[in-house]
Structure 1
Amino acid sequence: MRRPFVRDEHQGGRGLPGSSKRSTAVWVLLALALVSINLRPAITTIAGAMGQLEATFAVESRLLPVLGALPVLAFGISAPVGPWLARRLGSGRAVAVALLVLAAALAARALVPGFLFPGTFLAGAAIMTASVLLPQIVKERRGTGWWTGLCTMGFGLGAALGAGLVQPLQSALGGSLAGALAVWAVPAVLGALLVRGAAGRGAGPAADTRASTTTAAPLRKQRTAWAVAAFFGLQAMLYFAITSWLAVFLESKGLPPAEAAALLAWFSLAGLPASLLAPVLAGKPRILRIMAPGLGLLIAGALLGVLAAPAGMQFALIGVLGFVQSAPFGLGMALIVIRSAGPRTAGRLSAMSQGLGFAAASLGPLLAGVLHGWTGGWTLSFLVLAGVALLVAVAGFAAVRGPVVSVGETAADRPAEPAAVGR
């Protein structure tokens, strides 16, 4: 007899009718999509308005690199919160709580005087709490690469909306930048309500929180875990460095602020197909072996192209950069799922990869900004970022060739039967 799509521990795992399982799958997919869309605007709205922060919030220009690094630093510090909260509330309810905190942080940093920096850090912590649990939820429900792709595409869509709507929202709100930033609390609340409803169709804490009856080496002693974490962290370092400073770089090329912000949004939009397809293609071993290291090489070439190109060619080259830069994020999320033995491991590997990875990634915006301030130009910053892209290739090579990561999975920890949706 097939095991249920969502296991109810309190009801002894009674099966659900096929239509109910499909309905639950659709509900969970919608929740995952809306959650992921909410996990980037907090960052890209600030990046898209970086040039106005000094006048609106009295932020000294020398502190802008710190502001760009704050959410990513919060990612690294708060990664263990997600698994801890999931053990007590269940993964879905834990994500709902994180989104409510995110909504409060987004509103407070824009509307409460002096709260821009603390609010940005708190928003980053809430984002990471939700983000580390997405691979665990996918693994629990035996979601395919399309599930992971939907999540990663949601990240890219949210990033694009955050960057692209800053100027229009500001105009619609009578020139209020604070209002344009605070409005993003609304979709965060909606996401919390939807994912809470999806969690209500499950049953309490996820099954992967049970104690294991098998033994395995700690994550810190498994080389594949470190390779996945390195791949995730290095690609994230590139992503946040680019999104933090791309608009400023484009303004130095002579583009007006509104056009520079639009190209930052284009960078995210161009990556949507890649973020969806990369997790799907990662399910094919022959493609995975080439894609993991190859993406790093492509990113290095795209960065050098954007650096050298005149303003008139930036639209095309930023589109290429957005495509190849978004694929490693989708692949990184997929590797957490693919290279894990089960949901328990996926949750732990997700916390390690995103926690350590984003802690390292916080150096990206800071490093690019410091190098720019030191040299007065962008050449050295882009060359260093291209070097980081080559390290992404090395980490990807190691991540797909090591043994599967496991922290010990019991029979009860194994995921339930997959739903028809997304297969």
Structure 2
Amino acid sequence: MGQASQRHRTSAYAARRTAGVLVALALVSINLRPAITAVAGTMGQLQAGFGLDARLLPLLGALPVLAFGVSAPCGPWLARRLGTGRAVAAALLVLAAALIVRVFVPGLLLPGTFLAGASIMTASVLVPQIVKANRGTGWWTGLCTMGFGLGAALGAGLVQPLQQALGGSLAWALAVWAVPAVLAAALIRRADQTPGRPSGTGGTAGSGGPASDAGLQETTTAGGATGEAVAIRLRKQGTAWAVTAFFGLQAMLYFAITSWLAVFLVSKGQTAADAAGLLAWFSIAGLPASLLAPVLAGRRAVLKFMAPGLGLFVAAALIGVLTAPAALQFLMVGLLGIVQSAGFGLGMALVVIRSAGPESAGSLSAMSQGLGFALASLGPLGAGFLHEWSGGWDVPFWALAAEAVFLALAGFLAVRGPAVRLAAAEAERRGEPAAVGR
């Protein structure tokens, strides 16, 4: 009777802890976009509000993406020293400080925005690692990716109402996002803990239980079967590069589309207000897809077709937006938002699905997001250049559709290679086995 009661208490504790980690992850994800989209939605006010030179506005828009590419390795490095939960909490606290400093300290709008982007990426690359450590399902990854989209929409959509509610202060409307960042830091710090295991030992916070250890011992080979794995460096593994290419290409498409879609729609006869509404619809329509894509990707039979198929659907949707009359743009932009957001959800899911353990997931996340966002920064520039060079929008849209075909190829390769795992020496140093034969 006593043993049954103990098992019940242990099970109840595990359920509460899992729920706590999931809620904390969702709030963390929501905090990883408003710092960017809130500023993007107030570009026209920054000159008067902060004395920013108009020539620096493009730089302000590019700084977060640049920070993403530069700071991605910081996440795994910090997690090895503090534990994953503490590392994410620290990044969120720095984000909160950056949100306040950049609007209240003269001359720090640009450096503060860069620091905010670096903090966001430091936390972002560790989200898949926490999911993997807790053996989270596709619903976990889906909830996180939907949180990214929801945060982006809230950041852009609430900045004007917040400004009005706060007495017309743009600075306070931008700085108020520091509050949920601090709350998320407290929740993830408290939730992602492992009893009896120091969080700074190099292990992943939240990965000390038997279930998580089982996940650490799992090794997958090319055919999806468990067996002997060859431990080689991350950047010499084809699957790692395929996942990185998939993530980078979908991000490049996303930034190119969000940067120029409204301008394209205005050139086709839409009013500026209608074009802005359609851009918002692009994000909103994709929210369910960003949740469901990782869930569907958990089924291997679906994943084999889904990864390459999404790229082809994105290509078709781009051509649909280019050729559709004004009356059908609501439908076509919505379809584009759905397949584009599904691509982001799948990109995050591949990091979890195609890695052998939590530390491998963290390293693959840093590689795919770091290099991927560096590649993504070329999207808006390339589309803008092709538009100027060709004098129209046909060439940019066809070029983006061709890129989506390469996205399909990257997806095809990402799901067919062996699972990604750390090299032997690196895995031993981080506490993750390099290879386990059965």
Asked if Structure 1 and Structure 2 have the same fold, meaning a TM-score greater than 0.5 normalized by the shorter chain, the answer is yes
Residue 156 to residue 413, structure 1, CA distance change in 2 (3 Å): same
**Identity score, percent:** 70
Q: How does 1:345-384 map to 2 (within 5 A)?
A: 345-374=360-389, 377-384=392-399
The Cα of 1:274 is off from its aligned counterpart by: 0.9
Corresponding letter in the other structure for 2:312: L
Residue 203 of structure 2 is aligned to residue 207 of structure 1 = yes
Distance 1:243 1:161 in 2: 16
Residue 309 of structure 2 is aligned to residue 294 of structure 1 = yes
**Contact 1:65–1:366, Cα closer than 8 Å, also in 2:** no
Q: What SS class does the counterpart of residue 405 from structure 1 fall into?
A: coil
Residue 377 to residue 188, structure 1, CA distance change in 2 (3 Å): farther
Residue 155 of structure 2 is aligned to residue 162 of structure 1 = yes
Aligned to 1:22: 15
**Contact 1:36–1:158, Cα closer than 8 Å, also in 2:** yes
State which structure, 1 or 2, has the greater radius of gyration over its C-alpha atoms. 2
Q: How does 1:95-174 map to 2 (within 5 A)?
A: 95-174=88-167
Distance 2:58 2:184 in 1: 30
The Cα of 1:280 is off from its aligned counterpart by: 1.0
**Contact 1:132–1:354, Cα closer than 8 Å, also in 2:** yes
Distance 2:154 2:48 in 1: 23
Q: What SS class does the counterpart of residue 404 from structure 1 fall into?
A: coil
Residue 352 to residue 182, structure 1, CA distance change in 2 (3 Å): same
Residue 319 to residue 171, structure 1, CA distance change in 2 (3 Å): farther
Residue 410 of structure 2 is aligned to residue 395 of structure 1 = yes
Residue 263 of structure 2 is aligned to residue 221 of structure 1 = no
Distance 2:329 2:362 in 1: 39
Q: 1:280 aligns with which of 295, 305, 327?
A: 295
Higher RCO (C-alpha 8 Å, min separation 6):
1
Corresponding letter in the other structure for 2:68: F
Aligned to 1:319: 334
Corresponding letter in the other structure for 1:405: V
Residue 33 of structure 2 is aligned to residue 45 of structure 1 = no
Aligned to 2:220: none
Distance 1:367 1:108 in 2: 33
Distance 2:387 2:113 in 1: 23
Q: 1:243 aligns with which of 258, 261, 272?
A: 258
Aligned to 2:349: 334
Distance 1:366 1:40 in 2: 21
Q: 1:404 aligns with which of 410, 415, 419?
A: 419
**Contact 2:259–2:380, Cα closer than 8 Å, also in 1:** yes
Residue 54 to residue 296, structure 1, CA distance change in 2 (3 Å): farther
TM-score with structure 2 setting the length: 0.83
Unmatched tracts of structure 1, length 5 or more:
1-13, 415-423
TM-score with structure 1 setting the length: 0.86
The Cα of 1:292 is off from its aligned counterpart by: 0.6
The CA deviation string for residues 62-120 of structure 1, in whole angstroms up to 9 with x for no partner, is 54443332211111110110001101111011001111111122223333333232222
The Cα of 1:229 is off from its aligned counterpart by: 0.5
Distance 1:369 1:46 in 2: 21
The Cα of 1:401 is off from its aligned counterpart by: 1.1
Corresponding letter in the other structure for 1:147: W
Residue 346 to residue 171, structure 1, CA distance change in 2 (3 Å): same
